[in-house]
Every structure is written in structure tokens, then in C-alpha cells.
A and B are shown apart, each in its own frame.
Chain A
Amino acid sequence: MEHAVHLRDAVTLLGRFPALAGVDLDVARGEVVLLRGPNGAGKTTLLRLCAGLAPVSSGTAEVLGVDLVARRAGVRRRVGLLGHATFLYEDLSVVENVDFWARASGADVADGRRALDRLQVATRLHHLSVHSLSAGQRRRVSFAAMLARRPELWLLDEPHAGLDANGRDIVDDLVREAASVGATVLFASHELDRAGDVADRTVEVVGGTVVAHDDGGRSPDEVAARA
């Protein structure tokens, strides 16, 4: 299993619309890859495909060794998705949410609490209902819920959006940490400066396909040495 993600000519039809129109992508384990591209290009769909949520209508798609065409449900527990939606129950409190989602994924309540601390979600917020939090605070809680699962593949859809400078720093630190312990990170962002620092390489998504690739300036040896 050399690759975390291996896609060849992957097509995803949402209804009859080809959200992904033939994607070729290889991501090695432990890599941090930035997805960039215009709105509507298919970045979100690509992340969802890697999460096992979006169907693969044709082509080859293997994530973490799981064949997504045959059994995409099999990869879900091993990935973590930070999407645009919060994945939180508005009427429940922060800890109730994190506890529930941690236990639902097979993790411990303790993992969830630790994750909240890592995201620096203040203790005084813990028992507040999610609906009374700001958007940025909700993002941190969503992130914590994802963190608690200890996923092998991180799929982050614009992780910096809505966060203050402190929050963005935390995200960057977490991404570096994840890569250093062997997790793979794919993230979509429009914040190219910040993202460029964290990513090993950049991939351009346009028109439902992957086009250009840049090196982030890191050589393969640097990446290997870090893993």
C-alpha cells in the first residue's frame, strides 16, 4: 500500500452532472497536499470522494488500500473530514457533541476532550449549546470531533476559513503534527500563502480534473525524512 490515495480517470456524477470529470491523482502516505482551484472546480467533491462519501461512477479509486468503486463505505472510519457543514447537533452542547461523535467512531470520550484542548476551545464553552457559538468556535469544535477519531487520512475543506489568526496557527500545527506521525493530509484552501508553507506540494483542480502540479519546494527526501 504505497499510496494513501490513488485515482485514475475517476469520474463522479452527481445526478447527471460530472462533478469530477476524470481525475488522476497519487498521494503518498504522510504527504501534505494542497488542492487549489476556482470555485466550483470540484475540490469539495474530490475530498468527499476520498472520504468514501461521493460515488465513483467510473475509473479507478483506491484510498488507504480500499477500492472505492466496490466498497466505499469501508474507508470511512479511517478518514477524517472537515467539511463546510459543521457535523454538529445545534441543540446539544459542545462536549455532548464531541463525546457522541467520538464514541460513534469508536474512540474514547477522553480523546474528544483532549482534542477540544488542542483546539483551545475554552472550558467555559464546553457546556454551551452549539447554536450559541460563533462560526469560528464551531469550526474548532468540528475540528476537535475529527481529531478525536485519529484518522489516517485528513480531508480538510478550507480549514482556515472562519478562524482567527490563533486558530489558523493551531490548524497549521496540527497538520504538521499529523504528517509527522504518518497521517496523510489533503486540504483545499484559497489561503495560498499560509497553505503553501504547510503543504509538500500543490495540485490544481479545474473543471473536475486535476491539472498542474507544483512542488511546494520540498524534495522527496525531505518528505521521506519527516515520515
Chain B
Amino acid sequence: MTVDNTIPTPTGSATPSGSAASAGGGAGGPMSTSSTATRVLGTISLVGIAALVLFGLVLSPPDAKLGETVRILYMHVPTVSTAYLAFVITAVASVMYLWKRTEFWDLLAASSAEIGVLFFALTILNGMLWGKITWGVFWRWEPRLTTTAVLMLTYIGYLAVRQIPNDTRTRGTVSAVIGIMAIINIPITHKAVDWWRGLHQERTIFGTVNPEMRGLQLFSAYLGLTVFMVLFAWLLIHRFRVAWLTERAADVGVDAAIAERRAERPSGAVTTPAEGGAS
């Protein structure tokens, strides 16, 4: 699952040369982001999702209290947990970027955040579905949904910053700062929202995996978690590689640009190293 991080020496050609830029397990050239690792992960994900559908929707029994709607937990809990994992990765990568200043950490942070926002969106969507079925309305100010909505907006801000054209260093530093500021806010926001909604006796409907679950229900829940983690890893690798290749493509011109820049001098001038004068 490691990505080959060496930067191909720009040879001035328009496309990155094949040998240096291959990513990971030695499969296809630099024009694709897939490799043995991602093919394995992808297959597991798809098989896993099929299995989850089978167990979650068909094989496992409905809950004594929640009825059929418990099934949404098999997706809802994994998506929100994976999103949190994604943002923790973003935060750690942000710290590492500020320390080491290598592009790897910057791209990892950004890719992870993107997928995290995606999973947050999924969480809210299936939360709304659950709400429509259970409460009859798409939205209630239930602690988990509310917190997720606020946090999602926070990270959309992060993504917005990445879109602004800027040089890589500025963008990297600013994003890293935001990534760190945002993660610390997660527990504080949770506490604040929980207390706030707690005043109105709104229990959180979506808890973590309910310990009363047994047998196939428990199995489906953990299956869900596993499947979504694998899915996350798969998406992350692809997204990271896309970002990395984008940077490489932009890089290719640098040596050529340096040569062009030096050629700006009027022809006939002499290039002498700094020796003259009174030094």
C-alpha cells in the first residue's frame, strides 16, 4: 500500500516518464492510479458491500425496539466513524506537514479530508432517511446529526481553501493550520451539542454499536465497520495518487522554466561567475 514517493527528474518532456512515476505495486504506468494493492482493496470492498447488503438487509433479524430501521445503523455508524478517522488522518498529516514540509503529507491531508466530507454527507443522508421513516421528518435537532452538520461545514471550508489558486506552499500551510484547528473542535462541539440537546431530553438515537445487539445483528454491525474502512482505504489511495500525479504534471515544467528564464538575457552576453570587482 505504499506509494512510490520519489520525484521523477523532469526531463523537459511533456509527460512524466513511465519508469520513475509508477505508483506502488509495480502495475500500470503513471497514467493510472491503480495497482495491485488497490485492485485487492477494491475487490474486497465490493465483495464486502455485497456481503453487508446480504447480512444487513436480509439475514439479520429486525430489532426488538427499533424494528427494521435498525438496519440503517449498519451503514450509519461506519460512515460517521470512518469520517472521523479520515479527519484524524488529516490532522496528523497536517502536523507532519508543518514539521517536515514534504508534499506527501500535504496531499495526504487533503485527500483524506475530501473523503471525510464525502462520508459525512453519506452520514447525514442516511440519517435523514432514518429520520423520515422514524420521526416522519427529514430533520430533527438530534445531537449526532447536528454535530455532523456543523463539522461538515467546517471541513467544507477546508476544501474551499484548497480550491483557491495559490502557490503550493501557502496552500499547504494554510490548509494544515485549518486541519489542526478543526480537529480540536470535534470533541468540544460534541460536548456542547450533547449538553444542549440533553436539556430537552433528546437522547441520541444513533449511539455506537448497541451492546444489546446479539448474533447476526452484532456481526452485521462489525461487518459494516470493516467494509467501510476497507472502502475508505481504497478511495484514499486512489485520491492521493490522483493528487500526487497532478502535482507531478505541474512540476514537469520547472527545469524547462529555469532554462527559459536564464535564456532571457540578450544574446552575446557573457556568463561569468561572481569574481570581478573588489571582493
Task: Give A contacts to B, CB under 8 Å.
Answer: 3, 7, 11, 13-18, 21-22, 24-28, 31, 33, 41, 55, 200-201, 203-204, 206-215, 218-220, 223-224
Q: Is the CB of A211 within 8 A of B254?
A: no
A213 touches B258 (CB 8 A): no
Q: Report the Cα distance A153→B166, complex, angstroms.
A: 31
Q: A31-B279, A201-B277, A218-B278 are in contact. Are A207 and B257 (CB under 8 A)?
A: no
Interface residues on B, range: 20 to 34
Chain A residues whose C-beta falls within 8 Å of the C-beta of B279 in the assembled complex: 3, 26-28, 31
Residues of A within 8 A of B187 (CB): none
Q: Which one of B24-32, B59-67, B118-126, B264-272 is at the interface?
A: B264-272
Using A16-B251, A212-B270 as known contacts, say yes or no to A200 and B277 having CB atoms under 8 A apart: yes
In addition to A213-B272, A223-B278, 10 A-B residue pairs with Cβ atoms within 8 Å of each other are A15-B167, A15-B168, A16-B250, A26-B279, A27-B279, A201-B276, A203-B274, A206-B266, A209-B262, A218-B278
Instruction: Choose among B263, B265, B275 the residue that contacts A211 (Cβ–Cβ < 8 A).
Output: B265
14 pairs, A vs B, C-beta closer than 8 Å: A11-B258, A15-B167, A15-B168, A16-B250, A18-B254, A18-B258, A21-B261, A31-B279, A200-B277, A207-B261, A208-B264, A211-B265, A212-B272, A213-B274
The reply to whether B274 and A26 form a contact with Cβ atoms under 8 Å apart is yes
Shortest Cβ distance from A33 into chain B, in angstroms? 8
- The smallest beta-carbon distance between B14 and chain A, in angstroms, is 15
Residue of B nearest to A13 (CB): B254
Give the shortest distance, in Å, between B199 (CB) and chain A (any CB). Answer: 46
Interface on B for A, CB 8 Å cutoff?
167-169, 250-251, 253-254, 257-258, 261-266, 269-279
- Expressed in whole angstroms, the minimum distance between the Cβ of A44 and any Cβ of chain B is 15
Which listed residue, A15, A208, A219, touches B278 by the CB 8 Å rule? A219
Contact of B276 among A11, A213, A218, A223 (CB under 8 A): A213
Interface of A, helix, strand, loop or mixed by DSSP = strand
A211 touches B276 (CB 8 A): no
Which residues from B are CB-within-8-Å of A21?
258, 261-262
B270 neighbours in A (Cβ, 8 Å): 211-212
Contact flag A209-B271 (CB < 8 Å), given A15-B168, A16-B253:
yes
- A220 CB to closest chain B CB (Å) equals 4
Q: How far is the CA of A223 from the CA of B279 in the complex (A)?
A: 10
A215 touches B266 (CB 8 A): no
